[in-house]
Structure 1
Protein backbone atom coordinates (compact mmCIF):
# COMPACT_ATOMS: atom_id res chain seq x y z
CA UNK A 1 0.00 0.00 0.00
CA UNK A 2 1.39 3.41 -0.97
CA UNK A 3 1.91 6.27 1.48
CA UNK A 4 -0.94 8.16 -0.23
CA UNK A 5 -3.27 5.19 0.26
CA UNK A 6 -2.26 4.85 3.93
CA UNK A 7 -2.92 8.54 4.57
CA UNK A 8 -6.40 8.29 3.12
CA UNK A 9 -7.15 4.97 4.84
CA UNK A 10 -5.99 5.88 8.35
CA UNK A 11 -8.68 6.99 10.77
CA UNK A 12 -8.88 7.53 14.51
CA UNK A 13 -10.24 4.17 15.64
CA UNK A 14 -12.44 4.37 18.73
CA UNK A 15 -13.39 0.71 19.15
CA UNK A 16 -10.84 -2.11 19.17
CA UNK A 17 -11.12 -5.89 19.13
CA UNK A 18 -9.64 -8.03 21.88
CA UNK A 19 -6.94 -9.42 19.56
CA UNK A 20 -3.56 -9.06 21.29
CA UNK A 21 -0.55 -7.06 20.09
CA UNK A 22 2.85 -8.48 21.01
CA UNK A 23 5.86 -6.63 22.36
CA UNK A 24 7.75 -7.59 19.20
CA UNK A 25 5.09 -6.01 17.01
CA UNK A 26 5.42 -2.77 18.97
CA UNK A 27 9.21 -2.85 18.77
CA UNK A 28 9.04 -3.40 15.00
CA UNK A 29 6.78 -0.35 14.62
CA UNK A 30 9.11 1.80 16.69
CA UNK A 31 12.13 0.51 14.77
CA UNK A 32 10.67 1.95 11.58
CA UNK A 33 9.13 5.11 13.05
CA UNK A 34 12.46 6.17 14.59
CA UNK A 35 13.54 7.25 11.09
CA UNK A 36 11.03 10.11 11.16
CA UNK A 37 12.24 13.61 10.26
CA UNK A 38 13.91 15.47 13.10
CA UNK A 39 15.24 19.02 12.86
CA UNK A 40 18.87 19.12 13.94
CA UNK A 41 18.50 15.36 14.53
CA UNK A 42 17.37 16.13 18.09
CA UNK A 43 14.90 13.21 18.05
CA UNK A 44 12.95 14.89 20.87
CA UNK A 45 10.73 11.95 21.74
CA UNK A 46 10.44 9.22 24.30
CA UNK A 47 7.70 6.59 24.43
CA UNK A 48 6.24 4.66 27.36
CA UNK A 49 4.33 1.59 26.13
CA UNK A 50 1.80 -0.16 28.37
CA UNK A 51 -0.07 -3.44 28.07
CA UNK A 52 -1.61 -6.03 30.35
CA UNK A 53 -1.65 -5.19 34.06
CA UNK A 54 0.20 -1.91 33.46
CA UNK A 55 -2.41 -0.81 30.96
CA UNK A 56 -5.14 -1.50 33.52
CA UNK A 57 -3.19 0.42 36.16
CA UNK A 58 -3.01 3.47 33.89
CA UNK A 59 -6.74 3.27 33.21
CA UNK A 60 -7.51 3.14 36.95
CA UNK A 61 -5.14 6.03 37.56
CA UNK A 62 -6.95 8.16 35.00
CA UNK A 63 -10.41 7.48 36.37
CA UNK A 64 -9.28 8.14 39.95
CA UNK A 65 -7.56 11.39 38.94
CA UNK A 66 -10.64 12.64 37.08
CA UNK A 67 -12.96 11.68 39.91
CA UNK A 68 -10.88 13.90 42.20
CA UNK A 69 -10.53 16.67 39.65
CA UNK A 70 -13.12 16.56 36.81
CA UNK A 71 -11.51 19.65 35.28
CA UNK A 72 -8.36 17.68 34.58
CA UNK A 73 -4.65 18.42 34.87
CA UNK A 74 -3.91 20.09 31.51
CA UNK A 75 -1.96 22.83 33.30
CA UNK A 76 0.01 25.25 31.15
CA UNK A 77 -0.26 23.04 28.05
CA UNK A 78 -4.03 22.95 27.30
CA UNK A 79 -5.32 20.67 24.58
CA UNK A 80 -7.07 23.52 22.74
CA UNK A 81 -6.56 27.27 23.03
CA UNK A 82 -9.17 29.30 24.82
CA UNK A 83 -11.68 31.12 22.63
CA UNK A 84 -11.22 28.83 19.65
CA UNK A 85 -11.92 30.93 16.54
CA UNK A 86 -13.59 29.98 13.27
CA UNK A 87 -13.33 27.81 11.28
CA UNK A 88 -11.66 25.70 13.99
CA UNK A 89 -14.53 25.91 16.47
CA UNK A 90 -17.05 24.62 13.92
CA UNK A 91 -14.75 21.81 12.81
CA UNK A 92 -14.30 20.64 16.38
CA UNK A 93 -18.02 20.84 17.10
CA UNK A 94 -18.93 18.95 13.93
CA UNK A 95 -16.60 16.01 14.53
CA UNK A 96 -18.01 15.62 18.03
CA UNK A 97 -21.61 15.64 16.83
CA UNK A 98 -20.79 13.19 14.02
CA UNK A 99 -19.26 10.79 16.54
CA UNK A 100 -22.23 10.94 18.90
CA UNK A 101 -24.62 10.42 16.01
CA UNK A 102 -22.80 7.25 14.94
CA UNK A 103 -22.93 5.99 18.52
CA UNK A 104 -26.64 6.80 18.73
CA UNK A 105 -26.22 9.25 21.59
CA UNK A 106 -28.54 12.27 21.44
CA UNK A 107 -27.46 15.67 22.69
CA UNK A 108 -29.74 15.54 25.71
CA UNK A 109 -28.29 12.24 27.00
CA UNK A 110 -25.48 13.80 29.01
CA UNK A 111 -24.75 10.62 30.98
CA UNK A 112 -24.17 8.60 27.81
CA UNK A 113 -21.92 11.32 26.43
CA UNK A 114 -19.85 11.28 29.61
CA UNK A 115 -19.52 7.49 29.35
CA UNK A 116 -18.35 7.89 25.77
CA UNK A 117 -15.70 10.42 26.87
CA UNK A 118 -14.57 8.01 29.61
CA UNK A 119 -13.76 5.45 26.91
CA UNK A 120 -10.74 7.59 26.07
CA UNK A 121 -9.22 6.54 29.38
CA UNK A 122 -9.86 2.88 28.61
CA UNK A 123 -7.91 3.27 25.34
CA UNK A 124 -11.18 2.44 23.56
CA UNK A 125 -10.51 -1.21 24.38
CA UNK A 126 -7.11 -1.31 22.65
CA UNK A 127 -4.63 -3.80 24.16
CA UNK A 128 -1.71 -1.36 23.98
CA UNK A 129 -1.28 2.27 24.93
CA UNK A 130 1.67 4.45 23.96
CA UNK A 131 2.47 7.65 25.82
CA UNK A 132 4.68 10.25 24.18
CA UNK A 133 7.10 12.23 26.32
CA UNK A 134 9.08 15.37 25.50
CA UNK A 135 11.64 17.43 27.39
CA UNK A 136 10.08 20.57 28.86
CA UNK A 137 12.94 22.66 27.44
CA UNK A 138 11.89 21.91 23.86
CA UNK A 139 10.19 24.56 21.74
CA UNK A 140 7.33 24.51 19.25
CA UNK A 141 9.58 23.14 16.52
CA UNK A 142 10.44 20.07 18.54
CA UNK A 143 6.80 19.47 19.42
CA UNK A 144 6.15 19.43 15.67
CA UNK A 145 8.93 16.85 15.24
CA UNK A 146 7.29 14.68 17.90
CA UNK A 147 4.06 14.94 15.91
CA UNK A 148 5.87 13.73 12.79
CA UNK A 149 7.16 10.75 14.76
CA UNK A 150 3.63 9.92 15.90
CA UNK A 151 2.31 10.23 12.35
CA UNK A 152 5.03 7.90 11.09
CA UNK A 153 4.15 5.37 13.78
CA UNK A 154 0.44 5.52 12.93
CA UNK A 155 1.09 4.99 9.22
CA UNK A 156 3.44 2.06 9.82
CA UNK A 157 0.82 0.51 12.11
CA UNK A 158 -1.79 0.94 9.37
CA UNK A 159 0.53 -0.76 6.90
CA UNK A 160 0.78 -3.74 9.27
CA UNK A 161 -2.99 -4.09 9.58
CA UNK A 162 -3.11 -2.40 12.98
CA UNK A 163 -5.15 0.64 13.98
CA UNK A 164 -4.45 3.67 16.16
CA UNK A 165 -6.08 6.61 17.82
CA UNK A 166 -3.98 9.60 18.83
CA UNK A 167 -5.38 10.75 22.16
CA UNK A 168 -4.72 14.22 23.47
CA UNK A 169 -7.36 13.46 26.11
CA UNK A 170 -4.60 11.94 28.23
CA UNK A 171 -3.29 15.45 28.81
CA UNK A 172 -6.13 15.77 31.30
CA UNK A 173 -4.23 13.42 33.63
CA UNK A 174 -0.75 14.55 32.67
CA UNK A 175 0.50 15.11 36.23
CA UNK A 176 -0.74 11.73 37.43
CA UNK A 177 0.89 9.97 34.49
CA UNK A 178 4.13 11.81 35.15
CA UNK A 179 4.19 10.50 38.71
CA UNK A 180 3.11 7.00 37.74
CA UNK A 181 5.79 6.66 35.07
CA UNK A 182 8.36 8.15 37.48
CA UNK A 183 9.52 10.67 34.89
CA UNK A 184 12.17 13.25 35.79
CA UNK A 185 11.04 16.84 36.38
CA UNK A 186 12.33 17.98 33.01
CA UNK A 187 10.02 15.66 31.06
CA UNK A 188 6.38 16.12 30.09
CA UNK A 189 3.75 13.66 28.86
CA UNK A 190 2.27 15.10 25.67
CA UNK A 191 -0.46 12.60 24.81
CA UNK A 192 -1.32 8.96 24.33
CA UNK A 193 -2.07 6.63 21.44
CA UNK A 194 -4.30 3.55 21.45
CA UNK A 195 -2.91 0.66 19.39
CA UNK A 196 -4.58 -2.58 18.39
CA UNK A 197 -6.86 -4.16 15.81
CA UNK A 198 -9.98 -2.24 14.86
CA UNK A 199 -13.41 -3.62 15.60
CA UNK A 200 -14.74 -3.20 12.10
CA UNK A 201 -18.30 -3.92 13.21
CA UNK A 202 -18.43 -0.90 15.55
CA UNK A 203 -20.44 1.97 14.01
CA UNK A 204 -18.12 4.59 15.50
CA UNK A 205 -15.31 3.30 13.28
CA UNK A 206 -17.35 4.25 10.23
CA UNK A 207 -16.44 7.90 10.70
CA UNK A 208 -14.06 9.48 8.22
CA UNK A 209 -13.71 13.11 9.20
CA UNK A 210 -13.90 15.76 6.51
CA UNK A 211 -10.90 17.72 5.28
CA UNK A 212 -10.87 21.21 3.82
CA UNK A 213 -10.24 21.37 0.04
CA UNK A 214 -6.74 22.32 -1.04
CA UNK A 215 -7.82 25.69 -2.39
CA UNK A 216 -9.05 26.63 1.08
CA UNK A 217 -5.62 26.39 2.74
CA UNK A 218 -2.97 26.55 0.00
CA UNK A 219 -1.58 29.53 -1.93
CA UNK A 220 0.63 28.80 -4.93
CA UNK A 221 2.91 31.64 -6.04
CA UNK A 222 5.43 31.96 -8.83
CA UNK A 223 4.11 29.14 -11.00
CA UNK A 224 3.49 29.65 -14.73
Structure 2
Protein backbone atom coordinates (compact mmCIF):
# COMPACT_ATOMS: atom_id res chain seq x y z
CA UNK A 1 0.00 0.00 0.00
CA UNK A 2 1.37 3.43 -0.92
CA UNK A 3 0.68 6.78 0.75
CA UNK A 4 -2.11 7.69 -1.68
CA UNK A 5 -3.89 4.41 -0.95
CA UNK A 6 -3.48 4.86 2.80
CA UNK A 7 -5.00 8.34 2.53
CA UNK A 8 -8.05 6.87 0.81
CA UNK A 9 -8.37 3.91 3.17
CA UNK A 10 -7.82 5.68 6.51
CA UNK A 11 -10.91 6.40 8.55
CA UNK A 12 -11.99 6.63 12.16
CA UNK A 13 -12.86 3.11 13.32
CA UNK A 14 -15.17 2.72 16.32
CA UNK A 15 -15.39 -1.06 16.70
CA UNK A 16 -12.38 -3.34 16.98
CA UNK A 17 -11.53 -7.02 17.04
CA UNK A 18 -10.04 -8.38 20.29
CA UNK A 19 -6.78 -9.22 18.48
CA UNK A 20 -3.91 -7.30 20.10
CA UNK A 21 -1.13 -5.86 17.92
CA UNK A 22 2.29 -7.13 18.91
CA UNK A 23 4.48 -4.96 21.11
CA UNK A 24 7.14 -4.75 18.39
CA UNK A 25 4.52 -3.57 15.89
CA UNK A 26 3.26 -0.87 18.24
CA UNK A 27 6.81 0.18 19.12
CA UNK A 28 7.76 0.49 15.45
CA UNK A 29 4.57 2.41 14.63
CA UNK A 30 5.15 4.97 17.38
CA UNK A 31 8.82 5.35 16.45
CA UNK A 32 8.31 5.56 12.69
CA UNK A 33 5.64 8.24 13.08
CA UNK A 34 8.28 10.38 14.78
CA UNK A 35 9.83 10.98 11.35
CA UNK A 36 7.11 13.62 11.06
CA UNK A 37 8.09 17.20 10.39
CA UNK A 38 8.21 19.56 13.36
CA UNK A 39 9.19 23.21 13.48
CA UNK A 40 12.77 23.61 14.66
CA UNK A 41 12.86 19.82 15.05
CA UNK A 42 11.37 20.24 18.52
CA UNK A 43 9.54 16.90 18.26
CA UNK A 44 7.10 18.07 20.96
CA UNK A 45 5.24 14.77 21.32
CA UNK A 46 5.39 12.35 24.24
CA UNK A 47 3.58 9.03 23.69
CA UNK A 48 2.29 6.31 26.03
CA UNK A 49 0.74 3.11 24.62
CA UNK A 50 -1.39 0.90 26.87
CA UNK A 51 -2.71 -2.64 26.59
CA UNK A 52 -3.93 -5.30 29.00
CA UNK A 53 -4.08 -4.40 32.69
CA UNK A 54 -2.67 -0.83 32.33
CA UNK A 55 -5.30 -0.06 29.69
CA UNK A 56 -8.06 -1.50 31.87
CA UNK A 57 -6.85 0.59 34.81
CA UNK A 58 -7.04 3.82 32.83
CA UNK A 59 -10.46 3.01 31.41
CA UNK A 60 -11.83 2.18 34.86
CA UNK A 61 -10.46 5.42 36.33
CA UNK A 62 -11.94 7.59 33.60
CA UNK A 63 -15.28 5.80 33.70
CA UNK A 64 -15.76 6.88 37.32
CA UNK A 65 -14.18 10.34 36.99
CA UNK A 66 -15.60 13.80 36.48
CA UNK A 67 -14.40 15.83 33.48
CA UNK A 68 -11.55 18.24 34.05
CA UNK A 69 -12.63 21.89 34.23
CA UNK A 70 -10.40 23.37 31.54
CA UNK A 71 -12.46 26.33 30.45
CA UNK A 72 -9.41 28.57 30.30
CA UNK A 73 -7.19 26.17 28.36
CA UNK A 74 -7.08 26.40 24.52
CA UNK A 75 -7.26 23.47 22.11
CA UNK A 76 -9.94 21.74 24.18
CA UNK A 77 -12.88 21.48 21.77
CA UNK A 78 -14.71 23.21 18.95
CA UNK A 79 -15.10 27.01 18.95
CA UNK A 80 -18.23 28.22 20.75
CA UNK A 81 -21.29 28.89 18.58
CA UNK A 82 -19.74 27.10 15.63
CA UNK A 83 -20.62 28.84 12.35
CA UNK A 84 -21.28 27.57 8.85
CA UNK A 85 -20.08 25.76 6.84
CA UNK A 86 -18.37 24.06 9.81
CA UNK A 87 -21.53 23.74 11.90
CA UNK A 88 -23.38 22.00 9.07
CA UNK A 89 -20.46 19.65 8.40
CA UNK A 90 -20.22 18.68 12.05
CA UNK A 91 -23.98 18.18 12.36
CA UNK A 92 -24.12 15.98 9.26
CA UNK A 93 -21.17 13.90 10.43
CA UNK A 94 -22.89 13.22 13.74
CA UNK A 95 -26.19 12.35 12.09
CA UNK A 96 -24.48 10.01 9.64
CA UNK A 97 -22.66 8.29 12.49
CA UNK A 98 -25.78 7.65 14.55
CA UNK A 99 -27.68 6.41 11.50
CA UNK A 100 -25.22 3.54 11.15
CA UNK A 101 -26.24 2.26 14.59
CA UNK A 102 -29.94 3.21 14.37
CA UNK A 103 -29.90 5.85 17.10
CA UNK A 104 -32.49 8.56 16.35
CA UNK A 105 -31.80 12.20 17.14
CA UNK A 106 -34.32 12.28 19.98
CA UNK A 107 -32.70 9.35 21.83
CA UNK A 108 -30.34 11.45 23.93
CA UNK A 109 -29.53 8.62 26.34
CA UNK A 110 -28.33 6.32 23.55
CA UNK A 111 -26.26 9.10 22.05
CA UNK A 112 -24.61 9.82 25.37
CA UNK A 113 -23.93 6.12 25.79
CA UNK A 114 -22.21 6.03 22.41
CA UNK A 115 -20.22 9.15 23.32
CA UNK A 116 -19.06 7.43 26.52
CA UNK A 117 -17.55 4.65 24.41
CA UNK A 118 -14.75 7.10 23.71
CA UNK A 119 -13.64 6.39 27.27
CA UNK A 120 -13.31 2.71 26.37
CA UNK A 121 -11.17 3.49 23.33
CA UNK A 122 -14.17 2.01 21.50
CA UNK A 123 -13.06 -1.42 22.65
CA UNK A 124 -9.67 -1.19 20.96
CA UNK A 125 -7.02 -3.48 22.50
CA UNK A 126 -4.46 -0.66 22.50
CA UNK A 127 -4.95 2.87 23.76
CA UNK A 128 -2.41 5.56 22.94
CA UNK A 129 -2.15 8.82 24.85
CA UNK A 130 -0.14 11.65 23.28
CA UNK A 131 1.07 14.40 25.57
CA UNK A 132 2.68 17.79 25.08
CA UNK A 133 4.60 20.19 27.32
CA UNK A 134 1.99 22.73 28.46
CA UNK A 135 4.45 25.56 27.75
CA UNK A 136 4.32 24.79 24.02
CA UNK A 137 2.28 26.99 21.73
CA UNK A 138 0.01 26.87 18.72
CA UNK A 139 2.80 25.91 16.31
CA UNK A 140 3.74 22.86 18.39
CA UNK A 141 0.10 21.74 18.49
CA UNK A 142 0.24 21.82 14.70
CA UNK A 143 3.26 19.53 14.94
CA UNK A 144 1.18 17.12 17.04
CA UNK A 145 -1.36 17.04 14.24
CA UNK A 146 1.36 16.12 11.77
CA UNK A 147 2.50 13.32 14.08
CA UNK A 148 -1.08 12.07 14.41
CA UNK A 149 -1.56 11.95 10.64
CA UNK A 150 1.73 10.08 10.18
CA UNK A 151 0.74 7.60 12.90
CA UNK A 152 -2.65 6.91 11.35
CA UNK A 153 -1.38 6.52 7.80
CA UNK A 154 1.37 4.15 8.90
CA UNK A 155 -1.15 2.13 10.90
CA UNK A 156 -3.41 1.89 7.85
CA UNK A 157 -0.49 0.81 5.67
CA UNK A 158 0.28 -1.96 8.16
CA UNK A 159 -3.26 -3.31 8.29
CA UNK A 160 -4.28 -1.67 11.56
CA UNK A 161 -7.11 0.73 12.32
CA UNK A 162 -7.27 3.90 14.40
CA UNK A 163 -9.59 6.51 15.83
CA UNK A 164 -8.14 9.86 16.92
CA UNK A 165 -9.82 11.16 20.08
CA UNK A 166 -9.85 14.63 21.55
CA UNK A 167 -12.16 13.12 24.21
CA UNK A 168 -9.24 12.33 26.51
CA UNK A 169 -8.54 16.02 27.09
CA UNK A 170 -11.87 16.13 28.95
CA UNK A 171 -10.39 13.81 31.58
CA UNK A 172 -6.79 14.94 31.43
CA UNK A 173 -6.31 15.27 35.20
CA UNK A 174 -7.39 11.66 35.72
CA UNK A 175 -5.30 10.41 32.81
CA UNK A 176 -2.24 12.31 33.97
CA UNK A 177 -2.62 10.94 37.49
CA UNK A 178 -3.07 7.32 36.42
CA UNK A 179 -0.22 7.45 33.89
CA UNK A 180 1.98 9.49 36.23
CA UNK A 181 2.59 12.00 33.46
CA UNK A 182 5.50 14.20 34.52
CA UNK A 183 4.94 17.93 34.95
CA UNK A 184 4.63 20.04 32.80
CA UNK A 185 3.21 17.58 30.24
CA UNK A 186 -0.51 17.54 29.48
CA UNK A 187 -2.78 15.20 27.56
CA UNK A 188 -3.17 16.33 23.95
CA UNK A 189 -5.25 13.49 22.48
CA UNK A 190 -5.77 9.75 22.45
CA UNK A 191 -5.71 7.18 19.67
CA UNK A 192 -7.68 3.93 19.66
CA UNK A 193 -5.51 1.32 17.91
CA UNK A 194 -6.20 -2.24 16.81
CA UNK A 195 -7.81 -4.18 13.99
CA UNK A 196 -11.14 -3.18 12.50
CA UNK A 197 -14.25 -5.23 13.12
CA UNK A 198 -15.51 -5.03 9.55
CA UNK A 199 -18.85 -6.58 10.53
CA UNK A 200 -19.72 -3.74 12.93
CA UNK A 201 -22.36 -1.40 11.42
CA UNK A 202 -20.72 1.71 12.86
CA UNK A 203 -17.64 1.06 10.76
CA UNK A 204 -19.72 1.50 7.61
CA UNK A 205 -19.49 5.27 8.09
CA UNK A 206 -17.59 7.08 5.36
CA UNK A 207 -17.31 10.77 6.15
CA UNK A 208 -17.65 12.89 3.04
CA UNK A 209 -15.40 15.76 2.04
CA UNK A 210 -16.30 19.26 0.91
CA UNK A 211 -15.94 19.99 -2.79
CA UNK A 212 -12.52 21.29 -3.80
CA UNK A 213 -13.91 24.65 -4.88
CA UNK A 214 -15.28 25.36 -1.40
CA UNK A 215 -11.88 25.55 0.23
CA UNK A 216 -9.10 25.66 -2.39
CA UNK A 217 -7.89 27.92 -5.19
CA UNK A 218 -5.30 27.56 -7.90
CA UNK A 219 -3.74 30.84 -9.01
CA UNK A 220 -1.25 31.44 -11.76
CA UNK A 221 -1.70 28.02 -13.38
TM-score bracket relative to the smaller structure: over 0.9
1:1-224 matches, cutoff 5 A: 1-66=1-66, 69=67, 72-75=68-71, 76-77=73-74, 78-223=76-221
Count the aligned residue pairs.
219
Equivalents in 2 of 1:185, 1:55: separation in Å? 21
SS, match of residue 215 in structure 1: helix
SS, match of residue 65 in structure 1: coil
Moved over 6 A (4+): none
Per-residue Cα deviation, 1:57-86 (whole angstroms, up to 9, x for no partner): 1111111113xx5xx544413211111111
Normalising by structure 1, we get a TM-score of: 0.94
Normalising by structure 2, we get a TM-score of: 0.95
Equivalents in 1 of 2:110, 2:70: separation in Å? 24
Shift of 1:132: 0.6
Q: Which shows bigger deviation, 172-181 or 93-102? A: 172-181
Equivalents in 2 of 1:83, 1:29: separation in Å? 37
Per-residue Cα deviation, 1:175-195 (whole angstroms, up to 9, x for no partner): 111122222331110110000
Equivalents in 1 of 2:187, 2:18: separation in Å? 26
Equivalents in 2 of 1:120, 1:65: separation in Å? 14
Shift of 1:221: 1.9
Gaps in structure 2 of 5+ consecutive residues: none
Shift of 1:114: 1.4
Gaps in structure 1 of 5+ consecutive residues: none
Equivalents in 2 of 1:155, 1:79: separation in Å? 23
